[in-house]
Chains A and B, each alone.
Chain A
Amino acid sequence: MFYVSVFFQYMAQYMKTKLQYRADLFVEFLSDLMFQSVNLIFILVVFGHTTLLHGWARDEMIFIYGFFLVPFALFGAFFNIWDFNERYIVRGEMDRVLTRPVHSLFQIILERMELESLVGGVTGMIIMGYASARLHLEFHWYDFFLFLLFALGGMLVYAGVFISLATISFWSDARSSIMPMMYNISNYGRYPIDIYNRVIRYILTWILPFAFVGVYPSAYFLGKKEWYGYAFLTPVIGLVFFMIAVMLWNKGVKRYRGAGN
């Protein structure tokens, strides 16, 4: 309960800060929309030259991309830890965090909240809506809850992988671009998994399970029965990877060596 009330307190502060910079907010919305459209344009242009991609139609690809945007937006809004090394380790903000009586990871998540990223989720839902209308998809009442569950699962997959990567900073002071690299790998999950060879498929399912952010859960809504098993694994995989990340984090904090000196 305490954590929930702290969460809302931080949220309120966040809103106040953001409202001071309204112009920036607008720019961020707009540029987020632009970058989301790049991938859409890619899909549209490519399907100008082909009709099926390993048995996946254009609108199915678009649906997957739309779904992917939802967990990705949730992740972007609440786990904005790209610059963890720079901001908290190099500049020593971690010192301050550690002198407060709230779990350090939770504090950082709250401090770095970027609620405007949620707009991406709305875009995603619009894209999904468009694709499902064209595909004449039918939904049941419980599909909405499954959608929430899968989206949260996908978010936790992302969070798990990126928090684990952020903890590397506790062990090594060298800067690295491993975060952007992982971001690139995560893009694999947006495309039908069966276009890849077996090694990459295995990696995307069990090691860096980004397929659970896009293609697997979407397969359920697209009625691709052969992937249902994987689709329902989404929340489980999300929880497992997130728990591993929190464990690594707790271990890492003990190794923290402070800034300066």
Chain B
Amino acid sequence: MDKYFEMIRIRFLMMLAYRTNYYTGILIYCINIGAYYFLWSAIYNGKSAIQGMSIEQMTTYVAVSWMARAFYFNNIDREIAMEIKEGKVAVELIRPYSYLGMKTMQGLGEGVFRLFFLSFPGLIITSLLFPLHFSSDIRTWGYFALSIMLSFVINSQLNLLAGVVTFFTLNNEGLLRAKRFVIDLFSGLILPISFYPHWAQEVMKYFPFQAISYIPSMIFTESFRGQAVINGLLFQLVWSIILLFPLQLLWKVAKKRLVVQGG
């Protein structure tokens, strides 16, 4: 376990080196949230609620989904694809740790860093600029914390899957881009899932994407209450378990290929 903590620490140090990124990073997030705030204000235009969400909840939804994104987002899919293309994975496999585990830990290191240096200060700044709604119920915060952990797990699993596919296709730029597109659209980052037409919502129930952004943000804004919270968390938990299977399977086959063909 020590070595994984060391990996988190190293990532932490690396992130610190990109100092200006954090000043500008907060600004970027504030600007994004600002753009959506004005846009949503225009959309609401005096309406008290759309799809059961007030303008205040909507603004909070936008703010918290961007801040949560800072935590779960990482580029390990691209890193893995790059390392496979450059033949570095073979070297990684000699090392005494699980390659995928190490990549996930790197992502976690980055995520935790951004959580403290980007998301928290960013959220404080945006709450000064825009009318946000924070829950006073400690349980909401607890559920939210649990929920973004699961977001991280599911997003990382999808990233690992997309990365490992490179073993079989060699150039999977297309897949990586398609994945980003699907996650942008269907994770609930730019639009709450409940805003989509009914048929689209039905379809999305069978995919893991809304577990990444929609569920934690709905929990945070208290748009989900009671049983809906539990159902959301269960949805996340089930998907994080289901995704383990294809990941393990692909990785096994990939390793075999690597041994046979020498990368």
Contact = CB atoms under 8 A, between A and B. Distances in A.
The reply to whether A and B meet directly (CB within 8 Å) is yes
Given A24-B171, A27-B177, A181-B27, A175 B20 contact: yes
Interface in B4-38: 18-21, 24-25, 27-28, 31-32, 34-35, 38
Contacts of A177: 20-21, 24-25, 28
Interface residues of A, number: 35
B50 A49 contact: yes
A31 interface: yes
B28 A180 contact: yes
Interface in A224-240: none
Contacts, number: 87
Given A54-B45, A181-B27, A31 B178 contact: yes
- Taking chain A's interface residues, is the majority helix, strand, or loop, or is none over half, making it mixed? helix
Contacts of A191: 35, 38-39
Interface in A22-76: 23-24, 27, 30-31, 34-35, 38, 41-42, 45-46, 48-50, 52-54
A24 B173 contact: yes
- Size bracket of the B interface: 35 or more
Interface in A185-238: 185, 187-188, 191-192, 195-197, 200
A174 B20 contact: yes
Contacts of B35: 184, 187-188, 191
B25 to A, nearest CB: 6
Given A54-B42, A188-B35, A23 B171 contact: yes
A251 to B, nearest CB: 21
B254 interface: no
A178 B24 contact: yes
B196 interface: yes
Interface in A82-102: none
A195 B185 contact: no
A252 to B, nearest CB: 18
Interface in B31-86: 31-32, 34-35, 38-39, 41-45, 47, 50-51
A34 B50 contact: no
B181 A38 contact: yes
Contacts of B19: 174
A176 interface: yes
Interface of B: 18-21, 24-25, 27-28, 31-32, 34-35, 38-39, 41-45, 47, 50-51, 171, 173-174, 177-178, 181, 184-185, 190-191, 195-197
